[in-house]
């Protein structure tokens, strides 16, 4: 019967629900990227299905209840918004300015900062506010067994700290971001590239930019550390 839909699925009901995507349509993928809730990003996780204002001023169900696609504007399936670690070019970004303008503050001194300091740097002082995010992943410990069987160990919040198939992990909550200069472009370590300096960690996704670049701004990032083959 391969290829046929499960007989318990009501296709007529599904067809009647065709419409614009809501947070849950995007969240079922993006909140669980990397194999579990909040593993990847730190600020895209299941509490965003129905966040409070303290968690997210924009998406708060009791507030503006903004959907992902209000910011990630889409035209003909071209969606604004880029993943810093994947997108090498500085284009088709989603920005705060598209709603708030470049001068959102009554105070000039704050507006002047936005030339060099991204909005997110001041307005996202901490992330992973509700649930922890994965910060370190050591694959080299994978494969251990207890009584000949794979096992798992969890912290008090139920996050995996060890899984035989995935190795060891560290998690963090209410984390302050790291800050870097970013010009919007990135480089990537690709399979087959030669590693010349083995004395320090390899940066898989290099975000370009420095104090000297005219267009670079300070942005907040989550740095994920890993040991992998």
CA distance 167 to 140: 6
**CA 20/CA 96 separation, integer angstroms:** 22
Which region among 54-62, 137-145, 161-169, 198-206 touches ligand HEC (by CB under 6 A)? 54-62
Binding region for ligand HEC (CB under 6 A) out of 11-19, 52-60, 142-150, 168-176 = 52-60
- The whole-angstrom separation of Cα 217 and Cα 229 is 33
Instruction: Give the interface segment with ligand HEC, choosing from 41-49, 127-135, 146-154, 155-163 (CB under 6 A).
Output: 41-49
**Beta carbon nearer to ligand HEC, 79 or 142:** 79
Query: Which tokens belong to 199?
Result: 């004395």
Task: Considering only residues 94 through 153, tell me which ones interact with ligand HEC, judged by CB under 6 A.
Answer: 94-100, 102, 104-107, 110, 113-114, 117, 119-123
Is 191 a binding residue for ligand HEC by CB under 6 A? The answer is no
By the rule CB under 6 A, 219 interacts with ligand HEC: no
Q: Supply 20's token pair.
A: 């614009």
Q: Which is nearer to ligand HEC, 91 or 146 (CB)?
A: 91
The single residue among 37, 38, 39, 41 that binds ligand HEC, judged by CB under 6 A, is 41
- CA–CA gap between residue 89 and residue 186 (Å, rounded): 7
Are 201 and 111 in contact, with CB atoms under 8 Å apart?
A: no
Provide, rounded to whole angstroms, the least separation between the CB of residue 97 and ligand HEC.
5
- 106-140 burial, b for 16+ CB within 10 Å, e for fewer? eeeeeeebbeeebbbbeebeebbbbbbbbbebbee
Residue 35 binds ligand HEC, judged by CB under 6 A: no
Number of Cα atoms under 13 Å in the Cβ half of residue 229: 5
Binding residues vs ligand HEC (CB under 6 A): 21, 23, 25-27, 29-30, 33, 41, 44, 48, 57-59, 63-64, 66, 68-72, 79, 81-84, 86-87, 93-100, 102, 104-107, 110, 113-114, 117, 119-123
């Amino acid at each position: 019967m391969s290829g046929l839909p499960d007989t318990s699925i009501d296709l007529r009901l599904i067809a009647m629900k065709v419409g614009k995507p809501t947070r849950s349509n995007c969240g079922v993928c993006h909140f669980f990227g990397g194999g579990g809730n909040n593993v990847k990003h730190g600020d895209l996780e299941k509490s965003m299905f129905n966040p409070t204002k303290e968690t997210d001023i924009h998406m708060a169900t009791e507030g503006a209840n903004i959907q992902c696609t209000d910011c990630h504007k889409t035209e003909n399936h071209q969606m604004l918004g880029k993943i810093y670690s994947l997108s090498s070019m500085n284009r088709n970004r989603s920005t705060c300015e598209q709603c708030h303008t470049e001068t959102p503050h009554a105070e000039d001194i704050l507006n002047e900062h936005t030339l060099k300091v991204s909005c997110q740097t001041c307005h996202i002082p901490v992330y992973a506010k509700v649930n922890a995010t994965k910060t370190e992943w050591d694959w080299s410990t994978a494969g251990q067994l207890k009584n000949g069987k794979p096992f798992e160990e969890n912290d008090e919040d139920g996050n995996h700290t060890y899984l035989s198939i995935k190795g060891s992990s560290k998690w963090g909550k209410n984390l302050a971001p790291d800050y870097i200069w970013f010009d919007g472009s990135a480089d990537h370590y690709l399979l087959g590239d030669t590693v010349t300096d083995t004395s320090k960690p390899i940066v898989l996704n290099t975000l370009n930019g420095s104090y000297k670049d005219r267009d670079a701004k300070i942005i907040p990032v989550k740095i994920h550390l890993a040991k992998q083959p």
